[in-house]
A and B are shown apart, each in its own frame.
Chain A
Amino acid sequence: MKRLIPYFKRYRRDVWLALLSVIVLVFATLWQPRLLQVIMNAIIKNDQTTVLYQGMLLLGLAVLGIIGGVVNTIYSAKVALGVATDLRADLYAKVQTLAFADVEKFSASNLVVRMTNDINQVQQIVMASFQQITRIPLLFIGAFILAVVTMPEQWWVIIVMMLLIVAAAVFAMRRMTVYFGQTQQDIENVNTVARENLMGIRVVKSFVQEPNEIRKFSEKSDELTAVTAKIGYWFAILMPIFFLTANLAVGVAVYLVGQSITTHPGYLAAITSFISYLMQILYAVINGGFLMTFAARAFISIGRIDEVLATEPSMQYVPDGTDHVSGEISFEHVTFTYPGDDRPTLRDVSFTVPAGSMLGIVGATGSGKTTLAQLIARLYDPDAGQIKIGGVDVRDLPEKTLRATVAYVLQRSTLFSGTIAGNLRQVKPDAQVRQMQWAANVAQSAEFIERLPQTYDAPVEERSQNFSGGQKQRLAITRGVIANPEILILDDATSALDARSEKLVQEALDRELKRTTTIVIAEKIASIIRADQILVLDNGRIAGQGTHQTLLQSSAIYQAIYQTQKAREEGLK
């Protein structure tokens, strides 16, 4: 909750108005029985003028109550929306300062949930706070005081009633909490079976397992049904007990009034107001209980938001330094372990790539190829050793320089929704159509872009789903080359391209980006066969280094990979 205080301060005026109006509303609600009592007395005394006057007051009070309620809603909403949107903005800004390792630690989908669902929870609880939570204690205390003032002798009736109600609630809640926990588990089980069957519907059908799956699902579903029924039974007993207790209290109170009516004849007019106050207390207790469970959920959300806001980015950039480096890359005894892993993904890796040359990296899945590339782009920092670009340790490069030097194209790097030009201008803000054409020609995307009705202003849908797999990759490469970077990393970025397009891309890169150091990570030997230098990775170590020809002689692993891709009919060329 402390996390929210600075946000409330920004909406000080709205907060005060919301609180003030809630007090007006509570006053109107609680004062009505009081006026009723006065009127009842007037009826007994047959006092017309008082009845008329108090009656007008009563109407005025009701109108005041309505105004209070409306004003309260408006300002509560203002505070709730203000706090929620500001908090979301700060959360988003925070995430944008985090290092990639931090994002991975939370996981992207988890962060999205925090920015959407959790923020929504906060908005709802803030709204409820100003509409309800402030009102409930006020109503409760107010009703209690007024009830005691109305019939001082009967304070204990109220206390006993409350104790009984709270005892019943606590007793029932204890049992229900157990069931609630169980429901969560049961829901998860049911959903798991449903999800697996959805995703594997072809497997289920082709193995003719429908009856077994239905049996499995029914079992899980029946467990859930049984628990929900139990919770229902407890609720079924709770509410009648509350109301019965309250009405018993009313009966006892009225009985006691009857016994002492001769000493307190004034109580005759007070009975109705006293009952009203008793009922207000009852409602306050019940609503309070509901809100408490609601608030508990919101506190969890606030905690989750707080966790992100309190995270210090695990990677810092130097504020300033050199703004230009060459495309030479060197790894010196680099070892790297992913956070949470117990074995290093890269071990003692050393190599040098001269500026303007091409490096190919091959190796089995999990051998560390992508990790190596990510270290160059400084998505992570190594545990030991140094990575240098243009002779400078990457940790000594300002963020701007690093991003301008290294372009990293991933296998699944789609464009963001918007337009093609918009995406390209994100990387090169002053890009003219001529430059876009140049980049598109290099990436072999010009042929389909220029066939689109809006060419470079063509829309890109979410996840670039209006383009085919090969087109997506070519668009990503276009974005990668448009700023003519010193270093271009293609991380399996041509896997969906046919051989002809891939060859054209490589030729264009050779021709148009002569100065650029190119790193190509690929499954296909054909993609890296022309590289000046090829690294063979095996379990995080360099198992071979050289050109295609030398590796065929020296590296058994490279040979094995090559064998699986080698054509049998040599004469086919």
Chain B
Amino acid sequence: MSDLKIAGKYYWHYLKRYWRGFAISVILIAFSTWCIVIAPTYLGRAVEELTQYLQQWTNPATRGQASLGSFNHTLVIYVLLYAGDAASIFISSLILARVTAYSTGTMRVGLFRKMQRMRVQYFDTHSDGDILARFTSDLDNIFNAMNQALLEILLAVAQFVGLLIVMFNQNVTMAWVTMASTPVALIVAALVMRKAGVAVNRQQDDIGRLNGYINEQITGQKILITNGLQQDSLKGFHAYNAKVRQSALSGQIWSGILNPLMQGMSLLNTAIVIFFGSWLALNGQMSTGAALALVVVFVNYAQQYYQPIMSLTSLYSMIQLAITGARRVDEVRRQPDEVNPTDGLALQGIDSGLKIDNVRFSYVPDKEILHGITIDVHPGEMVALVGPTGSGKTTVMNLLNRFYDVDSGRITFDGTDIRRFDLQALRKNVGIVLQEPQLFTGTIADNIRYGDPTARMERVIAAAKQANIHDFIVSLPAGYETEVSDEQSIFSAGQKQLMSIARTILTNPRLLILDEATSNVDTVTEANIQAAMDNVIQGRTSFVIAHRLKTILNADKIVVLKDGAIIEQGNHAQLLNENGFYAELYRNQMVFD
């Protein structure tokens, strides 16, 4: 499907509910157009009447009959027509402003709702910046285009049509004269726009490369300084900058030249109309008054004639952006939702155990990550997953609460495939502590009761105490009511992890998955986290994805993964005795006297 078609469908989806508003606007705009195109004829008539008046007045014989009555009358109509125009434009702008604001709002919330329904896979395969850009710049472009283009396009089309009708009504020859330069203007516009498209693309590429260079270098300024590379960096910059100067110049010229060219065409067209009109006035069989009126009216038309064309060309790039924006937002809209079984089973707890049964899985077709994993877990057991980066540890976690679904094999709770449970019920019973825990804007208390916003303060404090973070929180001036956000660094990396543990403790999940923090935590803080983890694991079935072995020495079962397969399984003592991969890993991480 072409972008245009996709964008068309997208707008249709969100705008069709406003059809009444559009219908009223179109009628009002048609009316205003009628006012605008008719008004100049009244001005012309006024001039004609004034000429007659002057002639009568100049002639002593007719001076007595000379009257300005009809002239005044015509002027009143002229002003009333513009008042009608202003009123109808006002009302239709009002309607369209409302439609624009509210439909963009609906699009924004729609995009967010969709985001909440989509599969995790989408977020894993698209950068945050790219998805966020759809909320910001793409919706912005859509809004801007609707805000400015909707009314302008309707007006331009209506004006153009109205103008043509009235011109041909007035004087066919002059109408053709006014239109004569149109093909030239259109060809010029098309040529310039094509040139501009190419030039601007090249310009954007070069600017992109320059910005990329600047970003990399300045972000690495510490490396530049400590290696004394500032002059080298400047040399590299000049090469990129010089390229931008060249390509941006032609981009700027080609995209900037259309407007003056069209204005020039309008000037030329007016000149042609005056020239030809006055020739017609002198050589046709017309009274002086009628001839003057003809010129006045068509000069007015000639000045108006190019306005719709000009406003459409100046809107071109904006519309282009809005089409791309709609395409990008719509792409999200068409992503598959998470699969939640109809009549999903309720999940109360895990009584007889959990089994990962010969599970195979791949993120990308034909690149299998897990090659038939089987792990049997009894209720209340702690299972540790160990293995090098890329071995599939985190993937197991992704499968347990259905961020992803298995390719083959199955995962069962008490013998029931987890895909048969209601998705929400499943996730409420599976608690996760992530390696990089996200905090949300709000108070500390809000963050701890994130999974259960109605939780009383006693429960919040109890959870914080169990997670070893209570003392720190009460040491803050505002305590539990301290406002936090993910970007603010009230918490160190380790404390953030503790917050995440507290948040999970509060929801009291049956199955717990802990993805251990890897870096940026020193070993003393780590011991603190370890204590909190021991608290939360107490009495629950749990999976711990371990990066440091120290934390999992007490696990009931340690599963060693390598390249997507289980290579060793057992408790710490058993695995040390095997003297295989695990024992080697253990020796590497620990200090021995």
Task: Tell me if A185 is interfacial: C-beta within 8 Å of chain B.
Answer: no
CB-CB nearest in chain B for A81:
B249
Q: Are B219 and A112 in contact (CB under 8 A)?
A: yes
Task: Tell me if A16 is interfacial: C-beta within 8 Å of chain B.
Answer: no
**A 183-210 binary contact with B (CB < 8 Å = 1; else 0):** 0000100111111111111111111111
Q: Are A191 and B132 in contact (CB under 8 A)?
A: yes
Q: How far is the CA of A258 from the CA of B249 in the complex (A)?
A: 53
CB-CB nearest in chain A for B426:
A208
Decide: A108 near B591, CB < 8 A? Known: A235-B93, A258-B50: no
Decide: A59 near B116, CB < 8 A? Known: A108-B219, A410-B222: no
Q: How far is the CA of A25 from the CA of B583 in the complex (A)?
A: 84
Residue from B43, B278, B282, B526 having most chain A Cβ neighbours under 10 A = B278
Residues of chain B within 8 A of A258, CB atoms compared:
46, 50, 53, 68, 71-72, 75
**B 511-539 binary contact with A (CB < 8 Å = 1; else 0):** 00000000111111111000000000000
Stretch at the interface among A153-161, A248-256, A298-306, A437-445: A248-256
B265 to chain A, nearest CB (A): 7
B residues 272-321 touching A (CB-CB < 8 Å): 272, 274-275, 278-279, 281-282, 288, 291-292, 295-296, 299-300, 303
Task: Tell me if B453 is interfacial: C-beta within 8 Å of chain A.
Answer: yes
Residues of chain A within 8 A of B503, CB atoms compared:
207
Contact of B527 among A224, A564, A568 (CB under 8 A): A564
Q: Are A268 and B54 in contact (CB under 8 A)?
A: yes
Residues of chain B within 8 A of A218, CB atoms compared:
109, 112
A295 to chain B, nearest CB (A): 17
Residues of chain B within 8 A of A82, CB atoms compared:
245
Task: Tell me if A7 is interfacial: C-beta within 8 Å of chain B.
Answer: no
Q: Are B450 and A203 in contact (CB under 8 A)?
A: yes
Q: Are B441 and A205 in contact (CB under 8 A)?
A: no
Q: How far is the CA of A72 from the CA of B261 in the complex (A)?
A: 11
Q: Are B223 and A413 in contact (CB under 8 A)?
A: yes
Task: Tell me if A77 is interfacial: C-beta within 8 Å of chain B.
Answer: yes
Q: Are A268 and B47 in contact (CB under 8 A)?
A: yes
Q: How far is the CA of A103 from the CA of B587 in the complex (A)?
A: 42
Q: How far is the CA of A364 from the CA of B526 in the complex (A)?
A: 10
Q: How large is the interface on B (under 10, 10 to 19, 20 to 34, 35 or more residues)?
A: 35 or more
Q: Are B123 and A198 in contact (CB under 8 A)?
A: yes
Residues of chain B within 8 A of A89, CB atoms compared:
237-238, 241
Q: Are B431 and A206 in contact (CB under 8 A)?
A: yes
Task: Tell me if A307 is interfacial: C-beta within 8 Å of chain B.
Answer: no
Q: How far is the CA of A109 from the CA of B86 in the complex (A)?
A: 48
Task: Tell me if B195 is interfacial: C-beta within 8 Å of chain A.
Answer: no
What does DSSP make chain A's interface, helix, strand, loop or mixed?
helix
Q: Are A203 and B438 in contact (CB under 8 A)?
A: yes
Decide: A66 near B268, CB < 8 A? Known: A233-B94, A236-B90, A426-B229: yes
Residues of chain B within 8 A of A573, CB atoms compared:
587, 592
Q: Are A72 and B79 in contact (CB under 8 A)?
A: no
Residues of chain B within 8 A of A35, CB atoms compared:
274
Q: How far is the CA of A100 from the CA of B434 in the complex (A)?
A: 34
Decide: A194 near B237, CB < 8 A? Known: A212-B453, A244-B86, A410-B223: no
**B 78-91 binary contact with A (CB < 8 Å = 1; else 0):** 11001101110110
Stretch at the interface among B95-103, B351-359, B557-565: B95-103
**A 350-379 binary contact with B (CB < 8 Å = 1; else 0):** 000000000000011110000000000101
Task: Tell me if A551 is interfacial: C-beta within 8 Å of chain B.
Answer: no
Apart from the given pairs A28-B267, A193-B441, A243-B82, 17 other A-B contacts in the complex at a CB distance below 8 Å = A73-B257, A95-B221, A112-B215, A191-B136, A193-B112, A195-B132, A197-B112, A205-B427, A214-B112, A225-B105, A229-B102, A236-B93, A258-B50, A565-B590, A567-B586, A567-B590, A567-B591
List 5 tightest A-B contacts by C-beta distance, closest first. Answer: A232-B97, A200-B438, A69-B260, A403-B228, A499-B588
A-B contact pairs, 6 of them (CB 8 A): A89-B241, A127-B256, A214-B116, A240-B93, A251-B75, A254-B43
